Amino acid sequence: MEYISTAMDSLVWMTARELLLFAAIGILLIGLDDLLFDLMWLGTRRKRRAMAVHVGTDDLPGGLLSGRGVPDGALAIFLPAWDEHEILADTLARMLAAWDGEDFCIYLGCYPNDERTILSVSHLVSADSRLRLVVADRDGPTTKGHNLNQMWTALGVDERTTGQRYAGVILHDAEDIVHPLELAVYRRMLAAHSMVQIPVQAIIPDGGLWVSGHYADEFAEAHRKELPLRSALGLPIPSAGVGCALSRDAVTLLAMERDGLPFRPDSLTEDYEIGILIGTYGLSAAFVDARGPDGSPIVSRGEFPNQLKASVRQKARWVTGIALAGWGHLGWPPLPAVTARSGKLATLLGHWMLWRDRRGPLAAVVILAGYVALALLLLHLAGREFLAWNDAGWGSAMTALLTVNAVLLVWRLAWRMIFTAQVHGWRQGLCALPRALVANMVAISASWQAVRNYIRMIRSGQVVWAKTHHGKKSGLAPMGEHI
């Protein structure tokens, strides 16, 4: 019995030590990566403040800016929909009311075998010329890229029929709550940029403090730090797929490069890839922190999954599309627009951003190793207390490494809490601390599922739109709420 206990002691301690060393080195490298990014963000504060946009009455329809460098023509809003019969009519009603007075047309991408969604909006489509129903050429669900391409084809038919050319294409989802001044921002910024992305703000619904709440933390940090820094440095900006505007010329260029279809139909994250390609083609993109006349932020709001299983499924789709399949689709593309201004350093920065986008599965492995090591260390402590296991130590080097990691962890969590508090208030900022554990659990599970999904995709050659289900409560915040 004593021999078994000694063997268990050695096995537990050796495994814990090796996993802890692996996790500690991985966390250190990721932590230093984040620290360097944070320092660059702090160093560009003046430039980012100078890039802030304030929308006034001159930007509104009929204002002084109308016709002065602002792209002429209506804006086309692409809204793909599969099994959205519970919320789509409400979303359209809010959009039509919010953008009353603007020149736009909403293209609804539906499927012939999704009769409930089509019927839910048919009364609106028949009564309002600003709505255009586009029924796909095959049963759904296909992919979001295929759905968007169907709307692009319909847009081309409409342009040839009417002789009028759209000024830009706006991407939104069926659950989005739009801002009344959103289109005014796009018109103003598309005069100088091929892509414009406004912040996306996750709604924290009742009962969604933990799972939905961790999206709020991640989007607050990403859209107040990650994307603003990329924009300030002139680097490619990933499209969020919502709250994103593309100039008509940019979409045309993408279509020319892809046999007439701008959105990749075999991608799970066609929106992300569009943003990166815009930069690789040498076109300008901007992340816009815009404020209305009253100082309120102009953002796109939407709900995210509140159930752990649904969250893992959605995150797995993102990881598969960006870190795995997206890597295969994009590789490490050259950045001609950036390189022409600042040479090899800027290209290196652009590839560094791609690495940050793709490091998710590796980070999940490191985090998992850390949690397993922690569990084994607790088991070892229990063995010391109750089974007289040896009191083994890990030396001064490991202590120093863990101390540095602890400092980096405090730094990382402090920033996340600050960004969440700035967007959602100090109470949610405090909740961001325990929600980091939820985010880690979702990331680990999603990365594992993403690997399996990617292997399945390679074997079958099929990519299916694994969309998130939106119930009746999705997006039903008051129309006047945008903060």
CB 22 within 8 A of CB 259: no
pLDDT digits (tens, 9 = 90+) for 300-313: 999 999 999 999 99
Residue 479 has pLDDT above 50, yes or no: no
207: exposed, middle or buried (Cβ count in 10 Å: 0-12, 13-18, 19+): exposed
Residue 347: band (very low, low, confident or very high) from pLDDT cuts 50, 70, 90 = confident
pLDDT digits (tens, 9 = 90+) for 72-93: 789 999 999 999 999 999 999 9
Strand pairing report for 168-171 and 244-247: antiparallel
pLDDT digits (tens, 9 = 90+) for 162-182: 999 999 999 999 999 999 999
Given this structure, which CATH class describes domain 1-483?
alpha beta
Average pLDDT for the chain: 88
Contacts of 288 (CB under 8 A, 6+ apart): 51, 53, 185, 189, 196, 197, 198, 298
Residue 342 has pLDDT above 70, yes or no: no
Structure tokens at 393: 């130590």
* Angle (nearest 5°) at CA 33 between 325 and 397: 120
Lowest-confidence pick of 52-66, 258-272, 362-376, 456-470: 52-66
CB 38 within 8 A of CB 415: yes
| Spatial CA neighbour of 217 closest among 201, 228, 229 | 201
d(CA 481, CA 295): 14
CB 33 within 8 A of CB 357: no
Residue 469 has pLDDT above 60, yes or no: yes
d(CA 275, CA 350): 13
Residue 49 has pLDDT above 80, yes or no: yes
Residue 402 has pLDDT above 90, yes or no: yes
Residue 445 has pLDDT above 90, yes or no: yes
| Spatial CA neighbour of 436 closest among 183, 217, 276 | 217
Burial profile 85-124: b = 16 or more Cβ within 10 angstroms, e = fewer: bbbbbbbbebbbebbeebebbbbbbbbeebeebbebbeeb
Residue 246 has pLDDT above 90, yes or no: yes
What are the residue boundaries of the structural domains of the chain, listed by start?
A: 1-483
| Spatial CA neighbour of 66 closest among 162, 170, 191, 179 | 191
CB 205 within 8 A of CB 260: no
Helix axis angle, 88-98 to 115-127, nearest 10°: 30
Residue 67 has pLDDT above 60, yes or no: no
Pinpoint the alpha helices (H) of 163-307. 182-189, 211-221, 227-232, 248-257, 270-280
d(CA 298, CA 185): 8
Q: What pLDDT is recorded for position 463?
A: 80
Lowest-confidence pick of 108-112, 170-174, 240-244, 345-349: 345-349
| Longest Cα separation, the chain | 88
Residue entry with tokens 């109470």? 427
> Taking residues 225-241, what's their average pLDDT?
93
Phi and psi of 266, rounded to 5°?
-105, 25
Residue 61 has pLDDT above 60, yes or no: no
d(CA 85, CA 177): 16
Distances (CA, A) of 191 to 159, 195, 235, 342: 21, 10, 19, 24
d(CA 186, CA 99): 13
pLDDT digits (tens, 9 = 90+) for 21-36: 999 999 999 999 999 9
